[in-house]
Amino acid sequence: MFTVAQETADDWWEVEALYDLCFAPGREALSSYRLRDGVDPVAELSLMARDGDGTLAAAIRYWPVAIGTAKALLLGPIAVHPIHQGEGLGHMLIDDSLARAVDRGWARVMLVGDALYYQKFGFEKLDAVIMPPPTNPERVLGRELVEGAWDGVVGAAESVCGAV
């Protein structure tokens, strides 16, 4: 049995340790981190799953970004502890957090990731959105939370300060 809760400031380093465990060294050198520098994650969408013993099993974070005048969520990172991989925790956190994003009035979400994996969540390649280099454009994906939300959104993704 897993419980899902919003990440708090007290959880920050525990979540960071999970990301360090799950991702290669140097993860913070990735281009998506340039959009996160100096920006707080969207607190109400940054979630954790803990197992019955209270051990952190998975975590997901979102960040506010802008493409021109359009506001969007940047999903990531998401990680599942190796001993819990394959149990559906990543899927659960993505579904739960996207539902919360809809409830909070967000219209669009984007990420940098594997299209074959994220298409099951409704993500598609964003041809008109540019991430900071050296991002592979084939990995820039988006999902509309409101029909038509990506229509006419063109340009470079940029960092924004604070929650939008």
Domain coordinates in residue numbering, the chain: 3-159
- Tell me the percentage of the chain whose pLDDT exceeds 70: 93
17-31, 51-65, 73-87: least confident range: 17-31
Please state the rounded mean pLDDT for residues 58-64: 97
Taking the C-alpha atoms of residue 51 and residue 107, their distance in angstroms, rounded to an integer, is: 31
Please state the rounded mean pLDDT for residues 85-92: 95
21-35, 74-88, 95-109: least confident range: 21-35
pLDDT number for residue 162: 45
Give yes or no for residue 81 having a pLDDT over 80: yes
Please name the residues in contact with 31: beta carbons below 8 A apart, sequence gap of 6 or more.
112, 131, 132, 133, 134, 135
**How would you class 4 by CB atoms within 10 Å of its CB: exposed for 0-12, middle for 13-18, buried for 19 or more?**
middle
pLDDT number for residue 93: 97
Average pLDDT of the residues of the chain: 92
* Domain 3-159: assigned CATH number: 3.40.630.30
Neighbours of 99 (CB within 10 A): 11
pLDDT number for residue 163: 43
pLDDT number for residue 86: 94
User: What's the pLDDT band for 28 if we cut at 50, 70, 90?
Assistant: low
CA atoms in the 13 A half-sphere facing the CB of 158? 11
- Closest among 39, 70, 79, 68 to 161, alpha carbons compared: 39
Q: Which residue has the higher pLDDT, 27 or 112?
A: 112
